[in-house]
Amino acid sequence: MSDWRDFGPDTLSPPLRAALVVFARHGYHGASIRMIAEEAGLSVPGLYHHYRSKQAILAALVDTAMDELFEHSEAAVEDAGGDPVARFENLVESLARFHMARSDQAFVASTEMRSMDPGVRDHHIAQRDSQQAMLEDTIRAGVDSGDFACEHPEDAARAISSLCVSISSWYRPDGPLTADDVVARHLHFARGMVGAGPGRRGR
């Protein structure tokens, strides 16, 4: 990856991009294979050639998003080197940027948990948990190094993840805040949540 901060245009295949549009607009249960095929400019059998069911499309869509988030998050942490605070901050930044760049995918993944078959849901929860565990690890490392004062790293990791997820519900590229503004403010909030003190690192 050239730059973990840069998400660029999404890399979805045409059927998955069509499904994203239809799911975001009508919800999974309100969407039909026919609607997705029409949006993708495919015939219904053509769509079935790629995916065996609406459920398989939902699974592929959510998987693609989680893979992308995980890849950027790993690169963000690696880029920070050994400093616990920088690892934490880069990881929060990658979460915030993902939820701005991929807001529709994040919205579908979080609102359609109830629509996932048990196997698909379990896999998605495991991916989300591992993402949250990565954040928890950086918080624990910051506590160990004396940079953070945080009694409940697990709860802080969940809270910061939730906060970053919620960005996808209101952020608009043409809104009053730039992506960099959103990142700066959420880094500030996240530092406050782990007891890092607002002024540290001169931000």
**Which residues contact its own copies (rule: CB under 8 A)?**
24-30, 110-111, 114-115, 149, 151-152, 155-156, 158-159, 162-163, 165-166, 169-170, 177, 185-186, 188-189, 191-195, 198
Rounded to a whole number of angstroms, the minimum distance from the CB of residue 81 to its own copies is 26
Rounded to a whole number of angstroms, the minimum distance from the CB of residue 1 to its own copies is 28
| Nearer to its own copies (CB atom), residue 49 or residue 185 | 185
CA-closest candidate to residue 157, choices 179, 140, 180: 140
Rounded to a whole number of angstroms, the minimum distance from the CB of residue 143 to its own copies is 13
Rounded to a whole number of angstroms, the minimum distance from the CB of residue 177 to its own copies is 8
Rounded to a whole number of angstroms, the minimum distance from the CB of residue 182 to its own copies is 9
User: How many CB atoms are located within 10 Å of the residue 26 CB?
Assistant: 12
Distance CA 157, CA 178 (A): 25
Token pair belonging to 20 = 């994203």
User: How many CB atoms are located within 10 Å of the residue 15 CB?
Assistant: 22
| Nearer to its own copies (CB atom), residue 41 or residue 173 | 173
Token pair belonging to 56 = 């398989």
Distance CA 24, CA 36 (A): 12
| Nearer to its own copies (CB atom), residue 4 or residue 186 | 186
User: How many CB atoms are located within 10 Å of the residue 53 CB?
Assistant: 11
| Nearer to its own copies (CB atom), residue 1 or residue 125 | 125
Measured between alpha carbons, how far apart are the two ends of the chain, in Å? Answer: 26
| Nearer to its own copies (CB atom), residue 1 or residue 149 | 149
